[in-house]
Amino acid sequence: MTQTRFLGPSALAVSPIGLGCMNTTAAYGAAPDRSAMLALLQHAVERGVTFFDTAEVYGPLANELLVGEALAPVRESVVIATKFGFDIDPVTGANHGGLNSHPEHIRTAVHGSLRRLQTDYIDLLYQHRVDPNVPIEDVAGAVRDLIAEGKVRHFGLSEAGVSTIRRAHAVQPVTALQSEYSLWWREPEERILPVLEELHIGFVPFSPLGRGFLTGTMDQSTAFDASDFRNNIPRLSPENRSANQRVVALIQRIAVEQRASSAQVALAWLLAQKPWIVPIPGTTKPHRLDENIGATSVTLSPHDLDALDAAEAMVQGARYVERLQAQIDR
């Protein structure tokens, strides 16, 4: 993968498809074998992936430790993004619940991330969720100070609404917004994408494969581990998985015509939306990583794109349970 895309007004250069690292420690069931995940991250580097996404809360702490160890030998040739924003003890990893983006906590969190990632700087630092108890201007100002000190290079937001984006950008230019976006979650198109284009902010879609559903590898009989995060996704309940097979069938039809996989079609659709969109599919399997990278070679026709636009209207089930949806900034 030799192509490059650029995020933000400062043109942060990254591979067109990054790697979401969350499930290399835990999220979709039991934690994978650590040595295998180190090898996966190293394989990603060998295949040309330069953009790696982690967070303090993944584990907590364990994911940054894994990513830091894997990427230390190639640190200068990769872009590492991580996140702050939850009320987590940066030493023990104890999650106290709720959000915490107070400036002093941001600074403590960043120092912890730097240690775990074995680096002197964080390429892209996101606020993981907007904290309603802390003015976004204070958050942006804290990150601006860290950038001035050389500890952070770029500022990002996650799941932020239009007003928050504008207010933050006025204090410290925002390089990227990370939010969910895929063939079956199109909400960002209405208000978010226009303001990102206006302000020259890049977009990093997480869950670009619908948490695995758009790959066509699960149906109503698929059983999730009791600790699997997908148990919190209403549209992935057994009855909704059955109804949503219509979406998969649409993608599969185009995949056959393209001689590609369903995952590649779903990712190619995202890449075709804007040149400043960089999806970060996650995986724990090298062959799936290779498959995802292959999406950069798939060119969808205008007819394909029009046909895929019908997917959103077919989706049944909410994105999140109410408790999680309440954390999303509007």
Q: What is the 3-state secondary structure (H, E, C) of the chain?
A: CCCCEEECCCCEEECCCCEECHHHCCCECCCCCHHHHHHHHHHHHHCCCCEEECCCCCCCCHHHHHHHHHHHHHHHHCEEEEEECEEECCCCCCEEEEECCCHHHHHHHHHHHHHHCCCCCEEEEEECCCCCCCCHHHHHHHHHHHHHCCCEEEEEEECCCHHHHHHHHHHCCEEEEEEECECCECCHHHHHHHHHHHHCCEEEEECCCHHHHHHCCCCCCCCCCCCEHHHHCHHHCHHHHHHCHHHHHHHHHHHHHHCCCHHHHHHHHHHHHCCCECCCCECCCHHHHHHHHHHHHCCCCHHHHHHHCCHHHHCCCCCCCHHHHCCCCC
Q: pLDDT, tens digit, for every residue of 124-170? A: 999 999 999 999 999 999 999 999 999 999 999 999 999 999 999 99
pLDDT-derived band at 229 (thresholds 50, 70, 90) equals confident
Q: Distance (Å, rounded) from C-alpha 119 to C-alpha 77?
A: 13
Residue linked to tokens 């089930």: 317
Contact 61, 34 (CB under 8 A): no
Provide the mean pLDDT of the chain: 95
Q: Distance (Å, rounded) from C-alpha 23 to C-alpha 289?
A: 13
User: Model's pTM, two decimal places?
Assistant: 0.96
pLDDT-derived band at 117 (thresholds 50, 70, 90) equals very high
In sequence order, the 6+-apart residues with CB closer than 8 A to the CB of 263 are 209, 214, 215, 281, 288, 291, 292, 295
With a pLDDT cut of 90, the percent of the chain lying above it is 89
> Quick one: pLDDT at residue 179?
98
Residue linked to tokens 């650590």: 34
Contact 168, 141 (CB under 8 A): no
With a pLDDT cut of 70, the percent of the chain lying above it is 100
Q: Extract the tokens encoding 12.
A: 């942060």
In the predicted structure, residue 28 carries a pLDDT above the cut 80 = no
Least confident of 107-111, 302-306, 309-313: 309-313
pLDDT-derived band at 327 (thresholds 50, 70, 90) equals confident
> Could you list the active site residues?
58
pLDDT-derived band at 31 (thresholds 50, 70, 90) equals confident
pLDDT-derived band at 267 (thresholds 50, 70, 90) equals very high
- What mean pLDDT comes out for the span 88-97? 90
Domain spanning 5-325, CATH architecture: Alpha-Beta Barrel (3.20)
Q: pLDDT, tens digit, for every residue of 40-65? A: 999 999 999 999 999 999 999 999 99
> Quick one: pLDDT at residue 22?
96
Contact 80, 54 (CB under 8 A): yes
Q: Distance (Å, rounded) from C-alpha 48 to C-alpha 1?
A: 5
- What mean pLDDT comes out for the span 210-231? 90
Domain ranges for the chain? 5-325
